[in-house]
A and B are shown apart, each in its own frame.
Chain A
Amino acid sequence: MATSLLQELIESLRCLPGVGPKSAQRMAFHLLEHDRDGGRRLASLLSEAMEKISECSRCRTLTEQDVCSVCVSDRRDVSLLCIVESPAELAAIEESTNYNGLYFVLHGRLSPLDGLGPKEIGLDRLESRLDEEVVKEIILATNPTVEGEATAHYISELASSHGILTSRIAHGVPLGGDLGYVDGGTLAHAFAGRQKIE
C-alpha cells in the first residue's frame, strides 16, 4: 500500500526531538484541521531557514548572514573570547549574563569515541583566529563532563602557546540548591573551586 501524504507528514514531524508517533499525529491533524495558515507559514519558513541559515564565518554560530550580529557589533569587547559547545549555549549566555565579548562555537566537544578530534570541532579555525586577532582572555564555557574538561584543557594549552590567559566558568552547587542533595562529584568540584570572600 502506498503511503498517503498525511502519513508522510506525520512520519516527517517525528524528526523533531521529543516528538513520538502520537504527538506527531496530533500536530498534523491540528495544522490540517485548525490552522492551515500557520502550517503554510511554518512550511515556507522552514524551507527558507534550511536554505539560508549557515555558520557564521567567524564564530561558527548559526546565522543567515556571512558574519553574525554579535561578531559584527562594534559594542563588543574584542579582547574576550568565550568558547561554547553549541549555538544553544551561546544563546543561553546571551540571554542570562551580561557577558560582552565575542564567541566561538565548537559544535561538539573532543570525544575520540565519537570520532571527534581537534579538527572536527574547528580548533584549526580557532587557532587561526588567535593568530589574527588581539584576544586577551579566553573563557572556557564547555560543559562539566569528561569530554568538556578534555576540550577545555586542550584549548587552554593552545591559548597558552599564544600567550593568552584562559579561565574556566565555575561549576558547583546550583543557586537555591541543597548541599545534601548534590552528587559527590559536584560537591568535590565545588570545594576544590572555593573562593575567598572579599
Chain B
Amino acid sequence: MSILLRRAFVLHRRPFKNTSLLLELFVEGEGRFPAVSRGGAKGSTAGLLQPFTPLRLGWGGRGEVKSLHEVEPDDYQLDRLVGKPLFCGLYLNELLMRLVPRSEPHDQLFGDYIRTLSSLVGEIPLDWSLRLFEMRLLQAAGYELVTDVTLENEPVEPGRNYLYQKGRGFSESPVELSADTSNIISGRTLIALHNKTCDDIQLRQEAKQLLRRVIDYHLDYKPLKSRELFG
C-alpha cells in the first residue's frame, strides 16, 4: 500500500525518551497535530525535522498523538532564516500554536504560511509580512478583522479616525476624543490593511499596535513569549 506523503512543517519539537522526538506538525489539509518520531533525534532525520524546513510526511495511528513513519524533504527549498527573520519565524510558529486549534484543516493558511516564510527573506519589510500573516491567521481562527467597512456598515474612509471595539470591529470615532486614545486608528491604516500594501512606516507602526491589541484580546492577554526576542 502506498501512501501519498503530505506537505508539512514542524512547528515545535521536544526530545522524548532517549532518541525520539515529540513534534507539533502543521500539515496541508490536516492542520496542526502532535506526532512522535521514534529515533528521530538521531541521524539525518534530526536535521530534517526542524522548524522552517519544507517536508513531506507520512504518519499513522488513531490516537491524538500520531506516529511518524516517513520523513522526506519537500521538492522545493526555502532560504534559511537567520537573525531577525528567524525571530519572526519563531513568532509565526507561536501565533499558530496559540491561535489555531488542533486538527482543523486550514488549507489556505498553509499556503499563507509558506508565502510568509519566503517573504521573510524577500523585499517586503519584515513587519508588514508579519501583519499580513496576522490578518490571515485571525481570519482562519474565526476572528476576521474587517477593515474596509465599519460596524455601522459604512465604508472606511482614509481621512477619518475609527475606534476599535474589542473583538468586533471598528466604529466611527466620536468627535470628542475619549480619554483612552489607544483604541483610535486612522482610516488610512485600515485601508492599507485591507489592500495589503503599505509603504508608509507610520501607518505600519499603527497597524502593528492595532494587531497587537487584537491578538492580545483573543489570547486573553497572556503574553507571547517570542515578542521578548525583539526587545
Q: A residues within 8 Å of B by Cβ?
A: 17-18, 110, 112-119, 145-146, 149-150, 153-154, 181-186, 188-189
Residues of B within 8 A of A149 (CB): 82, 86
- A112-B90, A185-B53 as given contacts; A153 in contact with B83, CB under 8 Å: yes
Nearest first, the 7 closest Cβ-Cβ pairs linking A and B are: A112-B225, A112-B226, A183-B44, A117-B228, A183-B47, A113-B12, A146-B51
Q: Which among B14, B87, B91, B228 has the greatest number of chain A C-beta atoms within 10 A?
A: B228
Chain A residues in 8 Å Cβ range of B3: none
A153 to B80, CA, bound (A): 14
CB proximity to A under 8 Å, residues B182-231: 224-226, 228-229, 231
* Minimal beta-carbon separation of A146 from chain B (angstroms): 5
Complex CA distance for A121 and B226, rounded to whole angstroms: 14
Q: Interface size on B (CB < 8 Å)?
A: 34
Contact A146–B47 (Cβ < 8 Å) = no
Q: Using A112-B226, A112-B228 as known contacts, list a sample of 13 further A-B pairs with CB atoms less than 8 Å apart, ordered by residue number in A.
A: A18-B17, A110-B229, A112-B90, A113-B225, A114-B14, A117-B225, A118-B231, A145-B50, A146-B50, A153-B82, A183-B47, A183-B48, A189-B80
For residue A110, which residues in chain B have a CB less than 8 angstroms away from its CB? 90, 229
> Given A150-B90, A185-B48, A117–B229 Cβ distance below 8 Å?
yes
Contacts of B224 in A (CB 8 A): 112
Complex Cα gap A87–B147 (Å): 51
Query: Are the CB atoms of B86 and A153 closer together than 8 Å?
Result: yes
Q: Which of A115, A117, A118, A188 has the most CB of B within 10 A?
A: A117
CB distance from B196 to the nearest CB of A (A): 26
**Shortest Cβ distance from A119 into B: residue:** B228
What are the residues of chain B within 8 A of A189 when measuring CB–CB?
80
Q: Is B73 interfacial (CB 8 A cutoff)? A: yes
Main secondary structure of the interface of A (DSSP, over half): helix
CB-CB < 8 A to B93: which residues of A?
Answer: 112-113
What is the minimal beta-carbon distance from A160 to any residue of chain B, in angstroms?
Answer: 12
Tell me whether B48 and A188 are in contact (CB under 8 A).
Answer: no
Measured CB to CB, the closest approach of chain B to A167, in angstroms, equals 15
A182 to B48, CA, bound (A): 11
Interface presence of B52 (CB below 8 A): yes
Identify 27 residue pairs between A and B in the complex whose beta-carbon atoms are under 8 Å apart, listed by A's number.
A18-B18, A112-B91, A112-B226, A113-B12, A113-B94, A116-B225, A118-B231, A145-B50, A146-B50, A146-B51, A146-B52, A146-B86, A146-B90, A149-B82, A150-B86, A150-B90, A150-B229, A153-B82, A153-B83, A154-B87, A181-B44, A182-B44, A183-B47, A183-B48, A184-B47, A184-B48, A186-B47
> Is B99 engaged at the interface, CB distance under 8 Å to the other chain?
no
Closest B residue to A184 by CB, please name it.
B73
B121 is an interface residue with CB less than 8 A from chain A: no
Return chain B residues, CB-CB under 8 Å to A113.
11-12, 24, 90, 93-94, 97, 225
Contacts of B11 in A (CB 8 A): 113
- Expressed in whole angstroms, the minimum distance between the Cβ of B53 and any Cβ of chain A is 7
Query: Roughly how many angstroms separate A115 CA and B94 CA in the complex, as a whole number?
Result: 10
